[in-house]
Structure formats: structure tokens, C-alpha cells
């Protein structure tokens, strides 16, 4: 069985430049994609917990009928309340947002705290292209070709102390640049967190791009978290601070509505949101609903992280 590594696959092999900018051309090319980039031999490259991304391969556990969501949907249908509450608001309201220059602060229980210019933050790390299935708590989903770096490499570089157990990440707070922050719909800035073992899992990444291009403003430019087995609200965007701590971070949506949003946010079809079922989902661009997969289809890779846990209580 031939399994190609992410490093061996060019962005153009995920979707050609002229295809992803035009929906009709994309639809015409989707069959080719299904036969090539999503070939059965690649789909079998699921790996086991603890394997490196190179060993797991790409496209990281997609099913045979998973096809990358068109560019216009990936970049035009977003949750990013810093730029508005509507799905189209982020694309409309972030056009003037300047994501460069950018500084990322790494601090907390680490031996090497530092302030990094974005270029220096990314530069020492291997940039990879990964196609992930993504699931929103609102019961819709996409398949997205991300580009980025491993969060584990960033954490290793900072040299966490033995006391570090969690990783907290914070979004930029600047209401002048992010008009959605002028409304107190959430307690700004947006904060999210992971256990250290989740943060250093091979599937966890910091995305710097999508479809082989720099991350658009509406998708969280210039740096956002991607954890494919969790609901999308865990994906903190426009990150300016990464802090290692010994205490579980108070993530924004759990603070806002603790009866609806937990810390873990693992995709679990057996635990409904109080206002809707999580048993099925609507893939953007499709008419019929799909069954929701445990851990969003990444159970083989991540279920061992939660061995012995009550996943109904730790939702």
C-alpha cells in the first residue's frame, strides 16, 4: 500500500489554483479529486495514537465520500464573532483588517518565554498541508485543506516545566480593528484551552493558511487553532498569546453558557446540545444530512486520551 506523506503533496494537488476560485469548475473537478487526492489507499492512512503526522499521512482519516468544501464556502461561511454574528459577517467586515505585523507571546510555565514576530514564530517549524474534517457545534460541517504547523513543536520549543498541564490561547482584543468586539455578546478577548496532551497530539495544529494560501482574515488570520476531533468553537482565531498553566483555562463559551458549552467540546453524537441534536450534521454544499461520527471520525487517533472519562459529564 502506497501512502504519501503530507510533505510530499503539493497544494496544487489538493485543489488546482483555477479550480478553487470557481465553484462550477470545482464541481466539475470534484470527481477527479475523489479519484486522486481522496484515493482509497490514502484514506486508509489513519495511523494510531501517538504517531507523527508523517506516519499518519494525509488526508488524515477522511471517509471515501468526503470531498474538500469549496473555497467560497470555506472563506464565506464562518463563525468569527469578532467581526459579527452572521455567517457572512466575518468576510464582509474583516476586509480592512491588517494581520501583519503580528506578535505572538508565549508565556506561563515554560523555561523560554518570549515575544515572537509571526515570521520568527513560524519559521523554525515544519509547514504542512493537512485535509481535516471539521464539525461545528451548530450541526454543520466542512472538509478543509489547512496549511500550518504542529502546536506540539511550538510547545516543545518553549520548554514547558513539569507543572504545566494546560495550554491557554487568547485572541487579539482590538475593537477598533475587530468591530464585533464593540458589542458585549461575549466576554472579550476570546480564550480557549486544551489539556497539554491534547495540545501536543499529532493532529493538533496552528493553521497559517487554507487551500495553500495565507489564512484569510475571516478564517482567523494570521494564526488559528485547529483540533479536528473537537467542535469548531475550540478553534480560537487571530492568536496573540499562548500560555502554559497548571489550571484548566476558563474558555469563553463555557463562561458564557456553561449549560451548553463545556471545556472539552469533543464531537460526540450521543450528547445533544440542549437546543438541538448532535446525532446528525449537514455538510455545507450537501442537501442530505450525515450521521455524526464519534470524535468527528478521529476516534482511532484520540480516544485513548479520554480513557476512563465520563464523556457525557465532560462534554
Give me the average pLDDT of each 10-residue run along the chain (315 residues): 39 40 36 33 31 42 83 97 98 97 98 97 93 96 96 98 98 97 96 98 97 96 98 98 98 96 97 96 95 96 96 94
Is CATH 3.90.420.10 the right assignment for the domain spanning 6-306?
yes
Whether the ω angle into residue 222 lies within 30 degrees of 0, i.e. cis, is yes
Would you give the end-to-end CA distance of the chain in angstroms?
37
What pLDDT does 53 receive? 35
Following DSSP, what letter does each residue of 61-90 receive, concatenated? S--TT--PPPHHHHTTS---GGG-SSTTHH
How many beta carbons lie within 10 A of that of residue 95, not counting itself? 10
pTM of the model: 0.82
Q: Which pLDDT score is estimated for 224?
A: 98
The reported pLDDT for the residue numbered 61 is: 63
For the chain, the domains span 6-306
- Residue 64 has a pLDDT of 78
Amino acid at each position: 500500500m502506497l501512502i504519501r506523506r503530507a510533505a510530499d503533496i503539493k497544494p496544487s494537488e489538493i485543489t488546482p489554483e483555477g479550480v478553487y476560485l470557481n465553484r462550477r469548475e470545482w464541481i466539475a473537478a470534484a470527481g477527479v479529486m475523489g479519484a486522486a487526492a481522496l484515493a482509497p489507499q490514502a484514506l486508509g492512512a489513519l495511523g494510531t495514537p501517538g504517531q507523527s503526522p508523517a506516519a499518519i499521512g494525509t488526508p488524515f482519516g477522511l471517509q471515501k465520500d468526503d470531498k474538500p468544501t469549496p473555497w467560497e464556502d470555506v472563506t464565506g461561511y464562518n463563525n468569527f464573532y469578532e467581526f459579527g454574528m452572521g455567517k457572512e459577517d466575518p468576510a464582509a467586515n474583516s476586509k480592512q483588517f491588517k494581520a501583519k505585523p503580528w506578535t505572538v507571546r508565549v508565556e506561563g510555565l515554560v523555561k523560554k518565554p518570549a515575544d515572537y514576530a509571526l515570521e520568527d514564530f513560524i519559521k523554525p517549524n515544519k509547514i504542512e498541508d493537512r485535509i481535516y474534517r471539521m464539525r461545528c457545534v451548530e450541526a454543520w460541517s466542512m472538509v478543509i485543506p489547512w496549511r500550518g504547523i504542529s502546536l506540539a513543536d511550538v510547545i516543545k520549543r518553549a520548554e514547558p516545566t513539569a507543572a504545566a498541564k494546560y495550554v491557554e490561547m487568547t485572541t487579539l482584543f482590538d475593537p477598533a480593528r475587530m468591530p464585533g468586539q464593540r458589542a458585549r455578546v461575549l466576554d472579550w478577548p476570546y480564550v480557549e484551552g486544551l489539556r497539554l496532551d491534547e495540545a501536543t497530539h499529532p493532529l493538533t495544529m496552528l493553521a497559517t493558511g487554507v487551500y495553500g494560501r495565507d489564512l484569510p482574515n475571516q478564517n482567523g488570520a494570521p494564526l488559528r487553532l485547529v483540533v479536528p476531533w473537537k467542535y469548531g468553537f475550540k478553534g480560537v482565531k487571530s492568536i496573540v498569546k499562548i500560555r502554559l498553566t497548571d489550571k484548566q483555562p476558563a474558555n469563553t463559551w463555557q463562561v458564557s453558557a456553561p449549560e451548553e458549552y463545556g471545556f472539552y467540546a469533543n464531537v460526540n453524537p450521543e450528547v445533544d446540545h440542549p437546543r438541538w441534536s448532535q446525532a446528525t450534521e449537514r455538510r455545507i454544499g450537501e442537501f442530505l444530512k450525515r450521521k455524526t461520527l464519534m470524535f468527528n471520525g478521529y476516534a482511532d487517533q484520540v480516544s485513548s486520551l479520554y480513557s476512563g472519562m465520563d464523556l457525557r459529564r465532560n462534554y
